Structure 1
Amino acid sequence: METTAAEVVDVAAKKKDKKKRRWHNPFRLYIIDLYILKKFLGTFFLSTMLFLAVIAMFDITEKLDAFLTAPLSETIFDYFFSFIPYFANQLIPLFVFIAVIFFTSKMAANSEIIAILSSGISFSRLLRPYMIGAAIIAAMTFALSNYIIPPTNIKRIAYTNKYVKNKKVESNANVQLQVSPGVVAFIGRFEDRNKTGYRFSLDKFDGKELKSRTTAMTARYDTTRTYHWILMDYMTRDFDGMKETIKKGAKLDTIIPFEPRDFMISVNDQETLTTPQLTEYIEKQKMRGVANIKAFEIEKEKRIASTAAAFILTLIGMSLSSRKVKGGMGVNIGIGLGLSFSYILFSTVTSTFAISGLTTPFIAMEIPNLVYLAIGIYLYYRASKY
């Protein structure tokens, strides 16, 4: 039996169509993807603004005396311009969870989820626009927490120290740190108001052998130049075996590679550094033997962990609310609020593990992610089987 030209063309068209489907672009967004993505991000930003408005009102009530004392321009530009993005970033896991629970529960209640799955779309395919939305929020969280918010925190913290409650460390005693390999500095007492240290000494070692010691009655840090110290009533003793050389003077301008912020560590100082600055600071402090840098290490790991939280909580929220439940949307929202608050509380609790030395900061901040990822995977497979 001969094949007609029309049949040949039809076979060729089917082959071409099959090849086209084989090379289908997995990154293409369809109408259903854009529909879910629009609902996700719209609900997320709306819930964020509503919650921040409530939080701002409570904060105004709590700090009303300070706000009435401070100039209005400082309150708006120095405090609230930093406070709002700072708290938004802190509570992004909560906002993500609420957004996913709310709009997905509404879609399930309107039988939209059932209609989507009945059309042949798999549960895993339905998850794709949720993960795209989570990726957008995660990227925003990463940029905010690592680069954008820390510089603005400087003015916010300075504002609260000035008008609300001063948490800045004004003095420190018995400071000892390694300023460079083989060089150890000691300050009996340091006053931050005049950047002056008293009973200063600087020891230089070659292995375990002391090669030089410089002492001074006072050492003042010159803030106009990096690592510049002015020693008053100083004496330098150089050792060469049994031989000792002594040099004295009233004043000595010298470069010593450390500065007051290396040992004058106040509450929330870690929040003022971008992640590259934080990494550099941690490495430098470890080299110098400074002990109280756990808060800085925890802050760094928390910024990384919070980025992954968007994906994990989106997975849990979608798996929880994609099916109709008795009691309607309120049950899902209640469960969502409980889980999101427990995630934030769990992250706070595990940070104390690192402070007490039970775990490293990395493990402490990743424990909540691992626990909730396991919950999310379980809920996802359970939801996909319905």
Structure 2
Amino acid sequence: MKILDKYILFRYLKSVFFTLFIFIPIAVVIDVSEKVDKFLQHDDLTFIHILKDYYLNFIMYYANTFLPLATFIACIMFTSKLASNTEVIAISSANISFTRFLRPYFIGATILAIIALGMNHFVVPKGNEIKYAFEQEYIFNKRTENRSFVKDFSLQLNDSAKIFIKNFSLLNRKGYNFSYAEFDGIKIKHRVVAENITWDKENGNFILSKYKERFIQDEKDSITSGDKKTMILDFTPDDLIISGSKSMEMTSDRLSEFIDKSERRGVKNLNAYYVELYQRTSLPVSAYILTLIAVSLSSRKKRGGTGINLAIGIGLMFMYVFFMKVAVVLGSAPNSNALLMAWLPNIIFSTIAVYLYIREKKQG
């Protein structure tokens, strides 16, 4: 690697992390001002506990979220400064092509993409799980927890068994109008119905109240009933939560296993999980696209200097964030193509990046 490459790469990475370290304290200060009253309500809550379980994971989450924005803004500001100091002109006068000039930028983008991939797939989900548990314990009102109940829920436990629950409360772990059916081909061979079903977390099983059980046999059916019955089923109340927010608390290997398991159980719409899984790769790849756009926009000295480049760049960045949010909503809808929606912002902005690159290359 030549001296020029090392110089650009060092300044590129330094600018990105400096910009990131500006954003994070602002986010922390705003969050502290909103939640300090909640913290003070708990006498057993120590500063170390808040810092370790909440703000450490808070910082990791928002650092990863702000990384594309920090990369884009830092790249524009750094390259604009090179252009305003006529360093880009000197580089061009040394017969260094615009494509060659991009090499250290793309090396930096690769480093950032690798970091973001590791954070997205493994580090941030684990942190989100710890942060969410802390929020449930000390910040959120458990009585208004948004994951309160599910209605009319059916689940395929395996190839031959299926359950149905009319209503299940996730707060007290109790359901109503439960039925279990086990099949032999297309014929039912075992059926259980109960007025109530309660999850026994300590023993890992379910307790049925006011149940009726029927074994269907060739010669004679066996029917029993009672007030209470313990039953082991291959699911937990957490499996009833089909919510995109839950996916943020799973590492990618767990998320893939959850998706496969849910598909085998006959869960219909898992697009919110697919979008989350696909975006964990598509967002780090955006480092290349945003870097190419930023360098192509700001590598020439313009009237208005860094300000005009920064204004254009921020406008494009907000467009990217807008398309990303729209893609998440559309991708989570039933019958949509989650893979296409997750990559749609990158597809759109890659065409913009290629256009700006070709234009800048011709001008050079």
TM over 0.5: yes
The answer on 1:379 being equivalent to 2:356 is yes
SS in 2 for 1:323: coil
SS in 1 for 2:304: coil
How much does 1:130 deviate?
A: 0.5
Partner Cα separation in structure 1 for residue 335 and residue 178 of structure 2: 36
Equivalent residue, structure 1, for 2:22: 50
Percent of aligned positions with the same letter in both sequences?
36
Q: Bigger shift: 326-335 or 64-73? A: 64-73
How much does 1:300 deviate?
A: 0.8
1:25-73 deviations in whole A, cap 9, x for unaligned?
xxxx111111111001100000001011112222223334323334234
Given that 2:152 and 2:165 are in contact with CA atoms closer than 8 Å, whether structure 1 keeps it comes out as: yes
175, 178, 191: which one pairs with 1:200? 178
1:192-237 deviations in whole A, cap 9, x for unaligned?
34433333221012232212101234333333455x3343444321
**Matched residue pairs, number?**
357
Equivalent residue, structure 1, for 2:199: 221
How much does 1:173 deviate?
A: 3.0
Given that 2:327 and 2:344 are in contact with CA atoms closer than 8 Å, whether structure 1 keeps it comes out as: yes
118, 122, 127: which one pairs with 1:152? 127
Matches within 5 A, 1:22-33: 29-33=1-5
Partner Cα separation in structure 1 for residue 322 and residue 98 of structure 2: 31
1:59-112 deviations in whole A, cap 9, x for unaligned?
223334323334234432222111111111112111110111011110111111
The answer on 1:287 being equivalent to 2:264 is yes
State the one-letter code of the partner of 2:342: M
How much does 1:314 deviate?
A: 0.5
The answer on 1:318 being equivalent to 2:295 is yes
Equivalent residue, structure 2, for 1:18: none
Given that 1:161 and 1:168 are in contact with CA atoms closer than 8 Å, whether structure 2 keeps it comes out as: no
Partner Cα separation in structure 2 for residue 308 and residue 88 of structure 1: 16
Q: Bigger shift: 64-73 or 325-334? A: 64-73
Given that 2:24 and 2:63 are in contact with CA atoms closer than 8 Å, whether structure 1 keeps it comes out as: yes
Equivalent residue, structure 1, for 2:165: 187
Partner Cα separation in structure 2 for residue 164 and residue 233 of structure 1: 35
Unpaired runs of at least 5, structure 2: none
Partner Cα separation in structure 1 for residue 130 and residue 97 of structure 2: 50
Given that 2:152 and 2:164 are in contact with CA atoms closer than 8 Å, whether structure 1 keeps it comes out as: yes
Equivalent residue, structure 2, for 1:102: 77
1:268-287 deviations in whole A, cap 9, x for unaligned?
21110001111111121122
325, 330, 344: which one pairs with 1:348? 325
Q: Kindly tell me: are residues 99 and 225 of structure 1, through their superposed partners in 2, closer, same or farther at Cα, counting changes over 3 Å?
A: farther
Unpaired runs of at least 5, structure 1: 1-28
340, 346, 349: which one pairs with 1:369? 346
Given that 2:60 and 2:127 are in contact with CA atoms closer than 8 Å, whether structure 1 keeps it comes out as: no
How much does 1:174 deviate?
A: 2.8
Partner Cα separation in structure 1 for residue 244 and residue 339 of structure 2: 21
SS in 1 for 2:154: strand
After TM superposition, the score normalised by the length of structure 2 is: 0.91
State the one-letter code of the partner of 1:355: S
Q: Which has the larger radius of gyration?
A: 1
156, 172, 182: which one pairs with 2:150? 172
1:251-301 deviations in whole A, cap 9, x for unaligned?
544432111111134562111000111111112112222235332121111
SS in 1 for 2:164: strand
Partner Cα separation in structure 2 for residue 167 and residue 325 of structure 1: 53
Equivalent residue, structure 2, for 1:332: 309
SS in 2 for 1:236: strand
Equivalent residue, structure 1, for 2:94: 119
Equivalent residue, structure 2, for 1:60: 32
Q: Bigger shift: 312-321 or 156-165? A: 156-165
